[in-house]
Amino acid sequence: MTADAGRDPDELLDEIEQAADQVAAWTARWESLVRQAVQRGIAQRRIAPHANVAQSTVSRLAARAHSPADRRS
C-alpha cells in the first residue's frame, strides 16, 4: 500500500483525468513537431530516432491532419 491509499476516490479520479489531459496535450505536441519536421524536409529516417519511433510511424504521423489526442473528450 502507498501513502495515498486512504485518499478520496473523487480526488484520485480528478487527478487521473488531469494526467490523461496532460498526456493528450503532450502527444498532440509531439505529433505536431514530427509533422513540422517532415514539412520542413527533414528526412523521416533522421526524425524517427529523435521521436523514438520507427520510420513507418513517422510516415503515418506525417499523413495525419490532426492527432487523435486532439479529439479526446
Rounded Cα–Cα distance for residues 47 and 53 (Å): 9
Instruction: Summarize pLDDT for 24-72 with one digit per residue, the tens.
Output: 999 999 999 999 999 999 999 999 999 999 999 999 999 987 666 655 5
* Spatial distance between the Cα atoms of 35 and 62, rounded to a whole number of angstroms: 5
Contact 61, 35 (CB under 8 A): yes
pTM beyond 0.85: no
Residue with cell 479526446: 72
DSSP string of 24-52? HHHHHHHHHHHHHHHHTT--HHHHHHHHT
- pLDDT tens-digit profile of 13-36? 999 999 999 999 999 999 999 999
